[in-house]
Amino acid sequence: MTETANGLFDLAGKVAIVTGAGRGIGAAIAEALAASGADVAVTDMEQAAAEDTAGRIAETAADRIALVTACDVRDNDQVLRTVSELHAAKGRIDVLVNNAGIHRRVPPTDFNPRDLEDLYAVNLTGSFQMCSAVGNVMISQRSGSIINLSALGGGVVGLGRGGSIYGMTKGGIVSLTRDLAAEWGRYSIRVNALAPGWIRTPMTTALQNDPGRSARVLERVPLRRWGECEDIAGAAVFLASDASRYITGHTIPIDGGAANVIAISEEPV
């Protein structure tokens, strides 16, 4: 008997944890997972931000909130505590979304070592620590889906503009995704990544508000618009669900076509 489309995307009975879920892409993903039926642990470095997202989820699906907590992914003790609390409360963890991340533009010829350390600690080390802690749970239950957040400039394309260190960390996420997919596939754990392009988030506010720079960005996007957080959230629901049950080890660009399409002209060639 074939499954209906709704059945394939149904997350009822699944337990998910989203890092950096207090705002932007992380908040949209947490809300979308809950709307699709998952019990969601909303975590963020800032407790108040996590509570804001949980409050929006509670307006329509209060029973879908599994945990609301502050978690700094740089601190492995906090990571282990958060994962342990969720596992104790729900008995399983089916989905991990590694969304927590920071961005700084750092000239490669004149960088502050602290910037290098901070970007690696949050974007790469933090994601690895979450994968390790949740991976132990998923291995024991012989199932799970891990969704890492890379970036268009993180091993998909080179963008320059002082983004080399950020790109190194997000390129590392692509490598981590492939290796964990290879290592944990035997336990029916799928590991994939999403690589957002130019998305309308608090992190890109300055670029959005500069008409000239924003126009130059959109010239490189065939769909000719900024991406919305919900565009990323929909892909996360897909990767969390049985609709993607034979997909692992991939990094999926969500960029309006920017990475793979060159729009030469609107006139016929």
Catalytic one among 120, 166, 187, 246?
166
Cα-flanking dihedrals φ and ψ of residue 227, to 5°? -75, 150
Cβ contacts of residue 244 below 8 Å, gap of 6+? 145, 190, 192, 238
Q: Is 166 a catalytic residue?
A: yes
pLDDT of residue 266: 58
Q: Is residue 257 part of a domain?
A: no
Q: 267 lies in a domain?
A: no
Q: What is the pLDDT of residues 8-44, one digit of tens each?
A: 999 999 999 999 999 999 999 999 999 999 999 999 9
Examine residue 256 and state whether it is found in any structural domain, yes or no: no
pLDDT digits (tens, 9 = 90+) for 50-83: 999 999 999 999 999 999 999 999 999 999 999 9
- Structure letter (DSSP) for residue 54: H
Q: How far apart are CA 16 and CA 130, in angstroms?
A: 13
Here the tokens at position 102 are 């920071």
The answer to whether 175 and 233 are in contact (CB under 8 A) is no
Residue 261 within any structural domain of the chain: no
Residue 112 binned pLDDT confidence (cut-offs 50, 70, 90): confident
Asked if the structure places residue 20 within a domain, the reply is yes
Question: Could you tell me the two tokens for 227?
Answer: 């991406």
The reply to whether 142 falls in a domain is yes
**Does the residue 137 lie in any domain?**
yes
* Containing structural domain, residue 212: 5-251
Whether 4 has a pLDDT exceeding 60, the answer reads: no
Q: What is the percent of the chain with per-residue pLDDT over 70, rounded to a whole number?
A: 91
Q: How many folded domains does the chain comprise?
A: 1
Is the pLDDT assigned to residue 159 strictly greater than 60?
Answer: yes
Buried b (16+ CB within 10 A) or exposed e, 252-264: bbbbbebeeeeee
Cα separation, 123 vs 226, whole angstroms:
23
On whether the CB atoms of residues 139 and 120 are closer than 8 A, the answer is no
Q: Alpha-carbon distance 51 to 55, whole Å?
A: 6
DSSP, res 204: G
Taking all residues of the chain, what is their mean pLDDT, rounded to a whole number?
91
Looking up residue 113, the CATH number of its domain turns out to be: 3.40.50.720
Give 165 or 154, the one with higher predicted confidence. Answer: 165
Q: Is 128 domain-assigned? A: yes
DSSP codes joined into one string, 91-152: S---EEEE---------TTS--HHHHHHHIIIIIIHHHHHHHHHHHHHHHHT-EEEEEE--T
